[in-house]
Amino acid sequence: MITCQLRGRLKQERQNETIAAVGDHVIVTALNDGSGVIEEVMPRENAFFRMAPSARGEFKQVLLANPDLVCLVFACDHPAPSFRMLDRFLVITEKQQIPQLIVANKIDLVGRSTAESMFSIYTGLGYQVVYTSVKEAIGIERLHDLISGKITAFSGPSGVGKSSLLNQIQPGLGLVIGDLKETQARKGKHTTVVRELFELKSGGFVADMPGLRSLSLWDTEPEELDAYFPELCDLVSDCQFSNCSHQSEPGCAVKRAVENGTVSPERYESYIRLRAGDG
């Protein structure tokens, strides 16, 4: 581990975006005192970020650079899953082009077949869902395999079993999430930025991720949202009006699809809420 300063030139070049974030690949010059200077930040493949208002307009705050995967963890019960929150999160990760893995934990509380039907809308849309129980040691190896060799961000509401899952994968790893909780408690529900990557013995890294509430969709235009709902993006071109809001216009292909059951009413509800800026 080398503590580094940023070369002043980099600060001049990137004024509207985080210069170097966790997960960035950098070129460092090592100094005699054991510290270093970041000379160059390599272009990012993708980034998990949020737009923050700033004096100069917008600032792109990069929370995690080059993530390979985001694990969205929910419990089948205790607490019951918030699909609205899941939908919101899927939109954010679609927009930021980060592959998602949905983790449905605590399947011991409802049984596998109930768990599978709870998440069937999502598997139907092509999202990958892994079913786990820390209590009964189900699905842990599979989850471990799916994150090995990758930079994975873990997120999800508190109490769903994130720390328990990570501890089961590798003892001590769950502290990542425990830490995050503490930081959030101290700072209130505000910004928690990813500070560190934790190494998996099997290869790869795990990062904590800010709570979903602190992520805003405010920079998403209503029309843009269609593209982030896989079941809607191809439908909207069949609407009678090109500027259809899919709510009350005649000849709306989306409403028709909801009525005939090809689009789920819950997902439609999420869409309408997100469009109204109400996550």
- Site residues, ligand GDP (CB under 6 A): 105-106, 108-109, 133-135, 158-164, 177
In which residue are the tokens 């694990």 written?
Answer: 71
Dihedral over Cα of 21, 26, 28, 34: its sign: positive
- Return the residue nearest ligand GDP (CB atom): 161
**What's the token pair of residue 145?**
């395999």
C-beta atoms surrounding 274 within 10 Å: 21
User: Cβ of residue 69: shortest distance to ligand GDP, in angstroms?
Assistant: 18
Burial class (CB in 10 A: 0-12, 13-18, 19+), 230: middle
**Residue 267 binds what, of ligand GDP, Zn ion, none (CB under 5 to 8 Å, by partner type)?**
none
d(CA 272, CA 238): 18
User: Cβ of residue 51: shortest distance to ligand GDP, in angstroms?
Assistant: 27
**Residue 246 binds what, of ligand GDP, Zn ion, none (CB under 5 to 8 Å, by partner type)?**
Zn ion
Listed residue (33, 70, 233) closest to 152, CA to CA: 70
**Residue with Cβ nearer ligand GDP (106 or 267):** 106
C-beta atoms surrounding 69 within 10 Å: 19
For 242, residues 6+ apart whose C-beta sits below 8 A from its C-beta are none
Question: What is the per-residue binding string for Zn ion in 238-267, x denoting contact by CB under 5 A?
Answer: -x----x-x-----x-x-------------
Residue 101 is a binding residue for Zn ion (CB under 5 A): no
**Residue with Cβ nearer ligand GDP (20 or 109):** 109
**What's the token pair of residue 85?**
């929150």
User: Cβ of residue 121: shortest distance to ligand GDP, in angstroms?
Assistant: 22
**Residue 158 binds what, of ligand GDP, Zn ion, none (CB under 5 to 8 Å, by partner type)?**
ligand GDP
Q: For binding to Zn ion (CB under 5 A), which residues are involved?
A: 239, 244, 246, 252, 254
